[in-house]
Amino acid sequence: MNKILILGASGFIGNTLYKELLPYFDVYGTYCSLNENMLENQVLFKFNVETDTISILLNKIKPNYIISSLRGDFKALYKVHQQIYDYVKTRVNCCFLFLSTVNVFDGKFAFPSYENDTLLAESEYGKYKISVERMFYKLPEKKYLILRLPMVLGVNSPRVYQLKQASIHNAVFEVFPNLIISITTADKIAQQIHYIINKKLKGIYHLATNDVIHHSDLFQELAKRLELKKIIFTQAYTSNEDRYLAILPKVNKLPKTYRISVAQVIEYCTLKEEIKTLKN
């Protein structure tokens, strides 16, 4: 059985991955602060990116797959990934899966970005992700996967939570009418990664919707579907023309079962909420 180590298993995406993969693989994880649903599990290890050494844990667990969903100080994170690189480089049967981001393209806004497009970031976050991607490009292709993510939504996602809080407190929620984005859900990412591991795929994947939507239209539609009132939508214009912060799959497309559309993401975020309300 494949042994998988999820770095950041207590986070929003990492925890969803953990729950998806646990029934099928020998799964371990790291946490900074534990999710209460994970308290009694004995395969989770506390890890602080700024003070701990990941190589000790890697040599203890000896994983076949390492999935990085870590957050924290960029300099500290880069050093952690250097240690991961050194470990993967010397192991015959070990593959690294890096959860990267659409922000590796946040310095170019004219078009959506595809897997093999030139990386260009303006943000520190995007530059950090590019630095880690380029580090692992030095390895043989079979030793790593780059999985770039767009905005990730879900019933309990940070942005949907902020939207609900804006409704409760009659507060401001900022939207960008000229920004075109792609999106996805944490559950879909987990399903896609499960498939990628099973099929032993390699390369760069854009785990995003196959279509796009304006940022403002997305959140106004979510608010409407969730029947959220009293939100003060404030519109922020960063340019006079439409700009893209969107990734789309083109070169490495997964089977239709593992793809998702903007409409499906919106349906997922609102349908699950309706079911939850009915149960209550």
Structural tokens at position 272 = 């699950």
> Quick check: 35 pLDDT over 90?
no
Give the structural domain span for 227. 152-181+210-245+257-279
Task: Verify that 138 and 230 share a domain, yes or no.
Answer: no
Structure tokens at 241: 């023309």
Beta bridge partners of 205: 147
With a CB cutoff of 8 Å and minimum separation 6, the contacts of 103 are 121, 123, 125, 126, 129, 245
Tell me the β-bridge partners of 15: none
Which segments of the chain are extended strands (E)?
3-7, 26-31, 44-46, 65-68, 95-101, 144-149, 151-153, 172-175, 179-181, 183-185, 203-206, 213-214, 232-235, 243-245
Are 113 and 164 found together in one domain?
no
Helix (H, G, I), strand (E, B) or coil at 107: coil
Residue 252 lies in a domain: no
If asked whether residues 45 and 116 sit together in one domain, one would say yes
Element (H, E) at 268: helix 262-279
Amino acid making up residue 245: L
Residues 240 and 127 in one domain: no
pLDDT recorded at residue 143: 97
Q: How far apart are CA 37 and CA 9, in angstroms?
A: 12
pLDDT-derived band at 175 (thresholds 50, 70, 90) equals very high
Instruction: Estimate to the nearest angstrom the gap between the alpha carbon of 198 and the chain centroid.
Output: 19
Residues in the chain, how many?
280
Residues 177 and 156 placed together within one structural domain of the fold: yes
| Any domain includes 267 | yes
Structurally, the chain folds into a number of domains equal to 2
3-state secondary structure (DSSP) of residue 252: coil
Q: Which of 137, 138, 260 is nearest to 204 (CA)?
A: 137
Tell me the one-letter amino acid at 119: L
Q: What is the CATH number of the domain that holds 262?
A: 3.90.25
CB 27 within 8 A of CB 18: yes
pLDDT digits (tens, 9 = 90+) for 230-273: 899 999 987 788 999 999 999 999 999 999 999 999 999 998 55
Stretch 104-123: mean pLDDT, rounded?
Answer: 96
Phi, psi of 189 (to 5 degrees): -60, -45
User: Is pLDDT larger for residue 274 or for residue 78?
Assistant: 78
Co-location of 55 and 70 in the same domain: yes
User: Residue 251 domain-assigned?
Assistant: no
Q: Is residue 14 part of a domain?
A: yes
Query: Is residue 65 domain-shared with residue 199, that is, in the same domain?
Result: yes
How would you classify the pairing of strands 95-101 and 179-181?
unpaired
pLDDT of residue 271: 80
Same domain, 145 and 157: no
pLDDT, average across residues 213-242: 92
Same domain, 195 and 122: yes
pLDDT at 40 over 50: no
**For residue range 75-110, what is the model confidence (pLDDT) as tens digits?**
999 999 999 999 999 999 999 999 999 999 999 989
The model carries a pTM of: 0.93
Cα 128 to Cα 103: distance, rounded to the nearest angstrom = 10
- Residues forming a β-bridge with 189: none
Which of the four pLDDT bands, split at 50, 70 and 90, describes residue 42? Answer: low
Asked if residue 75 and residue 194 are part of one domain, the reply reads: yes
User: Do 221 and 272 reside in the same domain of the chain?
Assistant: yes
In a domain? residue 189: yes
The rounded distance, in Å, linking the Cα atoms of 129 and 133 is 6
Q: How far is CA 65 from the centre of its chain?
A: 17
Judge whether residue 132 has pLDDT over 60.
yes
| Confidence at residue 95, expressed as pLDDT on a 0 to 100 scale | 97
Q: What is the pLDDT of residue 106?
A: 96
Place 277 in a pLDDT band, splitting at 50, 70 and 90.
Answer: very low
The four Cα atoms 269, 271, 275, 278 give a dihedral, to 10 degrees, of 110
State whether 9 and 146 are in the same domain: yes
Q: How far is CA 5 from the centre of its chain?
A: 16
Residue 28 lies in a domain: yes
Mean model confidence pLDDT for the chain = 92
**CATH number for position 193:** 3.40.50.720
Does residue 196 belong to any structural domain of this protein? yes
Amino acid identity, position 148: R
Residue 241 belongs to some domain of the structure: yes
Instruction: Supply the DSSP symbol for 109.
Output: -
pLDDT at 278: 39
